[in-house]
Every structure is written in structure tokens, then in C-alpha cells.
Amino acid sequence: MKNRTLVISDIHGCYDEFVNLLSVIKYEPAEDELILLGDYCDRGFKSKEVIDFILNLHKDSNTIVLRGNHDQMFLDALNGGDDYLFLHNGGIDTIESYCGLNWFENYQGFDFNRYLEAKKFILTHYKQHIDFLNSLPFYHETEEFIFTHAGLNPFYENWKEQPNDNFLWIRDIFINNITQVDKTVIFGHTPTINMKDEDCGIWFGGDKIGIDGGCCFGFQMNCLEICEEGYKTYYVESKSKKR
């Protein structure tokens, strides 16, 4: 029987902080339900390690793993999609995590042909990671909560009919409007400092709760615990990048 529900989002290659946070919250895989809201790659330095760790958590424990927009950008780029969007949003860090920090070393900086070789290398040697990311759902629903990466479009009476891009990318329209659901929406994607102004802690916005602490930007990684008493919050400070 599960003990607690723990929710974490936007790990972004910050493997050390993620493992540290699991230690701080005393995560027990056999008892706790862990829900991850997406964005496992880009910007941090250890995307490969994060995805490998989460893949094994998903296999061996009660872990629900959702898809984020950065995970989707990674998949799209690997499959011939928008390379610029991926690279412009921290994709180089993901490439170097998989292929080595010296991947572009003899090419006087970034080289597009070398980047194409990197994509082939990842597709060949990390098929299990790619298949895992491709399998991830866009949301998870319980009796009281809807969990998703970015949010819900309030203009859809049936939120399940919104485009998948809304689950991954929506911001202001969701944050600034009341949803059409009678459940609390728990989301990441938008760093809480952009909503709270004073700190990076978890944002409680009535019908919605934002938990992205902006770890990859040098702030912190948050965890929301859902318990009988309500909510508890935890965090660890970023050490991988300075503000």
C-alpha cells in the first residue's frame, strides 16, 4: 500500500540535485508513489544519466513518468524535426551528455555534420531511452488531481480534447485563467519565480499548483508531497549552474 504521493518536475539533466532531493524526502520506492512531470533533458549536464535513472525507476517502482516539451523536442530532433528549436533550448547539453563533452572538440565549436553524427549515435546506442520517451503519456488523472507538464487550455470544455501541444507548452492562458475542471491541476514548465516574484518555492494558485523551481537556471528543485494533512514541500538548491 502506497505511503505518500511525491511530485517532481523539470529535472533538466540535473541528476545530482534529483538524487539529492530523493534522499532529502526519504523516498521509498516500494511504498511511495512518485510522479514526474516531464523535462528530463536539456540545459543540465547529465540528461543521459537522468533518463537512464528514471527509466529504471519506472521499471522497478511505483513511478508515473509524464512527457515534457523538452523531451518532445529531443524526440522530434532525433527524428528529423526542428533542430534549431532543440539546439536553441539546451539541446547541446543533451548531445554532449550522450556523446561526450569532447564530441565537437576537433571541429572548432559546433559543427552541423558532427551534430547529425551525434543523432545517429544516440538512435543506434540508446534505443531503449528513445522508446521510453516515446511511450510517455501527456497527463495522469486521479480522483482529486490532474498532473501534466504545462497545464490545461481553459477554452476546452473537455480538457482531454485539447491538442497535445497544450499539455507540453501552454503558459499564460492556463496560469491566468480558471480551469474548467473540478480537480486541482499540478504542473511544471513555468518556473515558479515567474509567478511568485519573491522566491522559487512551490506556487499555490487556487485551482492549480506550479512546482518548477528552475533548477537548471541556478535556482532549486522542488518536491510536492500530497498527504492526508494537505501538502508538504521540499527542495534542494541547484549546484550545476549559477544564476
Give 163-196 pLDDT, tens digit per residue. 999 999 999 999 999 999 999 999 999 999 999 8
Residue 243 domain flag: no
| Residue 145 structural domain | 5-237
Q: Do residues 206 and 179 touch, judged by C-beta distance below 8 A?
A: no
CATH of the domain at 95: 3.60.21.10
Q: Do residues 34 and 6 touch, judged by C-beta distance below 8 A?
A: yes
Q: How many domains are contained in the chain?
A: 1
**What average pLDDT does this structure show over 72-81?**
97
Share of the chain above pLDDT 70, in %: 98
Residue ranges in the chain assigned as alpha helix (H): 15-24, 47-60, 69-78, 83-86, 92-99, 112-125, 127-135, 164-169, 172-175, 193-196
φ, ψ dihedrals at 114, nearest 5°: -65, -35
Q: Which residues contact 3 (CB under 8 A, 6 or more apart)?
A: 28, 31, 32
Computed over every residue of the chain, the mean pLDDT equals 94
Residue 242 domain flag: no
**What average pLDDT does this structure show over 209-223?**
97
Q: pLDDT for 125-152, tens place per residue?
A: 999 999 999 999 999 999 999 999 999 9
243 pLDDT band, cuts 50/70/90, is very low
Q: How confident is the model at residue 240, as a pLDDT?
A: 63
Q: Do residues 15 and 49 touch, judged by C-beta distance below 8 A?
A: yes
A 10 A CB-CB count for 227 gives 11
First to last CA, the chain: 41
Kind of pairing between the strands at 208-210 and 203-204: antiparallel
Residue 158 domain flag: yes
Residue 114 domain flag: yes
pTM to 2 decimal places: 0.95
108 pLDDT band, cuts 50/70/90, is confident
Here the cell at position 28 is: 521509498
- Integer angstrom CA distances of residue 229 from 4, 225, 232: 11, 10, 9
Nearest to 40 by CA among 81, 73, 62: 73
Q: pLDDT for 10-54, tens place per residue?
A: 999 999 999 999 999 999 999 999 999 999 999 999 999 999 999
- pLDDT of residue 241 exceeding 60: no
198 pLDDT band, cuts 50/70/90, is confident
**What average pLDDT does this structure show over 91-95?**
96
- DSSP-based three-state secondary structure for 137: coil
CA distance 203 to 25: 19
φ, ψ dihedrals at 93, nearest 5°: -60, -35
- pLDDT of residue 242 exceeding 80: no
